[in-house]
Amino acid sequence: YAELPELYDLEHAGFSEDFELYLRLAEVVGDPILELGCGTGRVLGPLAAAGNRVTGVDRSRPMLDRARSVLHAQSSINSQLVTLAQGFMIEAERASGGPFGLVIFSLNGLMHVSAMAEQRAALASARRALDPRGMLVVDLLNPTPELLTTFDGRVRHEGFWQKPDGTTVDRFSVRTQDSAEQTIDTELWYDLVDPAGYIRRVRSGFPMRYLVASELALLLELTG
């Protein structure tokens, strides 16, 4: 993710459909709030702006640096309410500021823990980080057979954005899936074309592991 924080924010700038859910849950359950895999702070920003104490954990230093820069620049956010730390999802109980009223794996975050044993460990760790009256929220891809068949190794154009300086950004992907291991391997290419027509390509890739609803329910039961 070293070169992706700005591109990630550009890509997700218009995505806010999950904000109201988290804000309402924060009102009901209460803070402090821990987000595991917080990225550039897309979810933490609205929660902190509403006056909640938030902690974000991510393994990517560049993503955290971007989050710190963006969140601290927003006048609606009291920076004293925000704590950011580099770490792993399987170490949730080490996050400062707990125990937490709300622990969040947002936008497929748990899928980035790409081994079944580690997914179980991450959920168990989240349970230890929670207040006994707290709530865990997991937002995951629904791996329907129809969706999985689209991960067929073809190159797909997934989006087009424009930066303030006039640079255009196109994202292409190749995704393949292994139904036995429940994994999705992703390769991404971002083509950045400046106003003069010069192109620069940023390449990235990552594995993910999807979960079906019954499997997740069992894992939640096993991890308390």
Q: How confident is the model over 31-46, as pLDDT tens digits? A: 999 999 999 999 999 9
pLDDT score of 11: 87
pLDDT of residue 174: 98
Q: DSSP characters for 59-74?
A: S-HHHHHHHHHHHHT-
Determine the pLDDT at residue 2: 67
Rg (CA), the chain: 18
pLDDT attached to residue 4 = 82
pLDDT score recorded for residue 3 = 72
Instruction: Quickly count: other Cβ atoms within 10 Å of residue 190's Cβ.
Output: 21
In angstroms, the CA 224 to CA 216 distance is 12
Mean pLDDT by 10 residues, the chain (224 residues): 81 89 96 96 95 96 93 89 95 95 96 95 97 95 96 96 94 96 96 96 95 96 94
| Torsion sign, CA atoms 155, 160, 191, 140 | negative
193 contacts: CB under 8 Å, gap ≥ 6? 167, 168, 169, 170, 199
Q: What is the pLDDT of residue 135?
A: 97
Please give the model's pTM, rounded to 2 decimal places.
0.92
130, 99 contact by CB (below 8 A): yes
